[in-house]
Amino acid sequence: MSEVIVVTSGKGGVGKTTASANIGTGLAILGRRTVMIDTDIGLRNLDVVMGLENRIVYNLVDVVEGNCRMKQALIRDKRYPNLYLLPSAQTRDKSSVNPEQMRKLVEDLQDDFDYILLDCPAGIEQGFKNAVAGAGRALVVTTPEVSAIRDADRIIGLLETGQMKSIHLIVNRVRQDMVRRGDMMSVDDVMDILAVPLIGAIPDDEAIVISTNQGEPLAGTDTPSGQAFLDICRRLLGEDVPLALPNISYGLFGRLTSLLRRA
Amino acid sequence: MEHRRSAALRRGRSGAVAARRLRSLLAADQSGFPPETLEMLKNDMCRVISRYLDVDAAQMEVRIRRQGRPAMTGGDESDCFPALCTVIPVKDFRLKGTF
């Protein structure tokens, strides 16, 4: 039996897809057979973030409608032997699939994988309902901003009403320098406001932009965010990994100071 | 042209401002109590209290706050209730005399 995890957030643009890509990659690096499912029908993106966009033949809707077998639609990521992607359909919409069909789809993958990772679309409508239908665990991604946290709170409420067994928080794009000078809510503030246990915090890291540009996830690489994502994967596997938020230097002045400090 | 400087002046504590705004926003979202009604309640409270004390109406705060989330803290429903919290700055504590 595999663990089925949905990565969700409510608000768009907080890093759901990036988190899905990197957590999927991290789990594969740690030797777990992992499949990532892009459930954002009509606005598919996980394939581009993973750099697998040129290998799509069939998609999620094709599988649901019986136009192909599951094996034909799954894309194996050649860089990681344990990692697969089920891409979403770009030319359809959320109503092409219903929660019951999603539950069945996830069930069909249970025997072949340790982890099934569902990348949820933004919003609280049909797409969200589809994505959470088959999941037993939810990772709520937010950033330390008022709008993202408000939407995360709404999502957490919906997940609780839907009897989601386990809900954890990922705080993305944390800038410790801004937290220190009092101009950003700290990870503790966010946890306290949302009252949900934390599974990891990701520093705001320009390496993420570079990695997305290139279509190469950075989980496990020697970057602050790459390490933070791998830490999240270890915690998912049950390891006790202490939370560490590195001090990244931003801007010219910050970099000069950190260079001087290092010298 | 005069530049807007208000945001820059408040640098250094905007994180705390965000946290405070969110706490009351989420409590209001969850209670389903309309913000306009809360404003009316605040004005009524202000009027009643003003009969006894000289209060600073401009600085008065009335918010809905809540403690904990029952599903996550493992507690029962009674551990998590919304509460009406008020801060009413009093300008003068001497009784007004006429009620």
pLDDT, tens digit, 9 for 90 and up, residues A245-261: 777 777 777 777 666 76
Partnered with residue A101 across adjacent β-strands are: none
CATH class of the region A3-262: alpha beta
Q: Do the beta carbons of residue A37 and residue A95 sit within 8 Å?
A: no
pLDDT value of position A263 = 61
Q: Which residues from B are below 8 Å from A180, CB to CB?
A: none
Q: What's residue A118's pLDDT?
A: 98
Where do the structural domains in chain A lie, given as residue ranges? 3-262
Which residues lie across from A169 on neighbouring strands? A140, A198
For A60-70, the pLDDT digits (tens) are 999 999 999 99
CB contact under 8 A, B25 and A183: no
Residues from chain A that touch B17, judged by Cβ atoms under 8 A, are none
CB-based burial label for A130 (10 Å; 0-12, 13-18, 19+)? buried
> Is B18 close to A182, i.e. CB distance below 8 A?
no
Q: What is the pLDDT of residue A158?
A: 96
Q: Does B14 touch chain A (CB under 8 A)?
A: yes
Yes or no: say if B27 and A194 are a contact pair by the CB < 8 Å rule: no
Residues of chain A contacting residue B72, judged by C-beta atoms under 8 Å apart: 167, 195-197
Q: How sure is the predictor about B73, in pLDDT bands with cuts at 50, 70 and 90?
A: very low
Chain A positions in Cβ-Cβ contact with residue B16 (cut-off 8 Å): 182
B43 close contact with A: CB closer than 8 A: no
pLDDT score at B46: 92
ipTM reported for the complex, 2 dp? 0.82
Q: Which residues fall within 8 angstroms of residue A9, CB to CB, at 6 or more apart?
A: A15, A16, A120, A122, A140, A141, A142, A148, A151, A152, A155
Question: Is A196 within 8 Å of B68 when comparing Cβ atoms?
Answer: no
Whether B69 and chain A come into contact, CB under 8 Å, resolves to yes
Q: How far is CA B5 from CA A166, B9, B10, B74, in A?
A: 45, 6, 9, 46
For tokens 């663990």, what's the residue? A3
Chain centre distance of CA A182: 28
How far apart, in whole angstroms, are the C-alpha atoms of residue A220 and residue A26?
6
Q: Give the range among A44-48, A187-191, B52-56, B92-96 with minimum mean pLDDT.
A: B92-96
- Across the A/B interface, how many CB contacts are shorter than 8 Å? 56
- The string of pLDDT tens digits covering residues B10-68 is 677 899 999 988 988 888 888 888 878 888 999 999 999 998 888 998 888 888 776 55
A152 pLDDT more than 90 = yes
Tens of pLDDT, residue by residue over A189-233, are 999 999 999 999 999 999 999 999 999 999 999 999 999 999 999
